[in-house]
């Protein structure tokens, strides 16, 4: 089978960047070259991987499976290159929506002091395990526990819940809001990785409609348009400020738990020290 690494890189880039044009810019290739590599990969595998639309691209079920394997292969090559080089190591910490919010900068500073010879890389990965199961991260910050049995976790802290709404929303003038007030309009939710589900409300007081979204950018776009409200952790409210979107505390909602997670089969060497560092931020 004549699968080439550049074909796998093109597949991953198209998904990560959202369009063939942006993938070409990221890879420093022409758009035609990216298209040729994807087409060659599809011919080699004998399946359709990517469905094009006028505005974006989407993976077929076969494409989803191929992408998972491609990321593992590319991650292994990255590890091989890293291990072959003398000098510093690297720890990749994934997160689905936000890293550590207001604690992120302090975490980076404390990391540099605690692990001066280990590079810290924060990676946004909108998957239930924030990249752990596909091998693109070594450690993860999660606010919703995945079903994956191959992942271990420990709770390191908690964050307040905030409602995100359009700045001209009637609730935007209030200092805080309630779950019942939020539920008067549709609520945007990422049902794969988000920290908000319908179970947050009593059964007889749930929102009239759930607007499904794919990631934090989609979430902010829908909310900014006024089509829906959203509920999220304080870290998102801190990390993703956008004109036209206002955040208000939800005074009757439970806090969002924050977990540190890692793959059972290959835990980070400094796992205990990393967990201690994270817990210290939330005390």
Domain spans, the chain: 5-81, 91-153+258-282, 161-254
> Are 27 and 34 a contacting pair, CB within 8 Å?
yes
Listed in sequence order, the residues at least 6 apart from 116 whose beta carbon sits closer than 8 Å to its beta carbon are none
**Nearest-angstrom CA–CA distance, 204 and 241:** 32
- pLDDT for 87 equals 45
> Are 34 and 10 a contacting pair, CB within 8 Å?
yes
Domains 91-153+258-282 and 161-254 share a fold: yes
- pLDDT for 86 equals 41
Convert the pLDDT of each residue in 187-237 to its tens digit.
999 988 889 999 999 999 999 999 999 889 999 999 999 999 999 999 999
**Nearest-angstrom CA–CA distance, 204 and 129:** 31
> Are 200 and 162 a contacting pair, CB within 8 Å?
no
**Nearest-angstrom CA–CA distance, 270 and 258:** 19
| Terminal alpha carbon distance of the chain | 53
Tokens of 24: 């070409």
**Nearest-angstrom CA–CA distance, 109 and 253:** 32
**CATH assignment, 161-254:** 3.40.190.10
**The 3-state secondary structure of 145-191, one letter per residue:** CCCCCCEEEEEEEEECEEEEEECCCHHHHCCCECHHHHCCCCEEECC
- pLDDT for 135 equals 82
**Nearest-angstrom CA–CA distance, 196 and 188:** 9
Tokens of 192: 């794969």
> How far lies 99's CA from each of 8, 50, 121, 191, in Å?
27, 30, 11, 19
**CATH assignment, 91-153+258-282:** 3.40.190.10
Looking at CATH, the fold of the domain delimited by 5-81 is given as Arc Repressor Mutant, subunit A (1.10.10)
User: Per-residue DSSP letters for 14-39?
Assistant: HHHHSSHHHHHHHHTS-HHHHHHHHH
**Nearest-angstrom CA–CA distance, 87 and 30:** 35
Averaged confidence pLDDT in the chain: 90
- For the chain, which residues score pLDDT lower than 70? 1, 53-55, 81-88
């Amino acid at each position: 089978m004549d699968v080439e690494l550049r074909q796998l890189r093109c597949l991953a880039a198209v998904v990560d960047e959202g369009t063939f044009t942006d993938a070409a810019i990221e890879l420093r290739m022409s758009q035609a070259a990216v298209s040729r590599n994807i087409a060659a990969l599809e011919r080699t595998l004998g399946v359709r991987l990517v469905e094009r639309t006028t505005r974006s691209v989407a993976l077929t079920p076969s494409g989803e499976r191929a992408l998972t394997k491609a990321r593992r292969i590319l991650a292994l090559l990255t590890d091989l290159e890293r291990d072959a080089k003398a000098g510093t190591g690297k720890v990749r910490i994934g997160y689905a929506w936000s890293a550590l919010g207001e604690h992120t900068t302090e975490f980076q500073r404390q990391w540099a002091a605690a692990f001066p010879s280990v590079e810290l890389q924060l990676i946004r990965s909108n998957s239930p395990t924030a990249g752990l199961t596909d091998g693109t991260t070594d450690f993860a910050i999660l606010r919703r526990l995945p079903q994956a049995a191959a992942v271990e976790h420990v709770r390191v802290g908690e964050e307040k819940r905030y409602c995100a709404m359009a700045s001209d929303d009637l609730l935007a003038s209030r200092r805080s809001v309630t779950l019942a007030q939020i539920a008067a309009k549709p609520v945007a939710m990422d049902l794969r990785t988000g920290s908000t589900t319908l179970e947050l409300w009593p059964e007889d007081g749930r929102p009239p409609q759930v607007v499904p979204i794919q990631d934090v950018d989609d979430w902010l776009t829908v909310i900014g348009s006024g089509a829906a409200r959203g509920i999220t952790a304080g870290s998102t409210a801190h990390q993703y400020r956008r004109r036209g979107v206002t955040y208000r505390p939800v005074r009757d909602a439970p806090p969002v738990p924050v977990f540190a997670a890692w793959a059972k089969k290959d835990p980070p060497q400094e796992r205990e020290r990393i967990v201690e560092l994270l817990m210290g931020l939330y005390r």
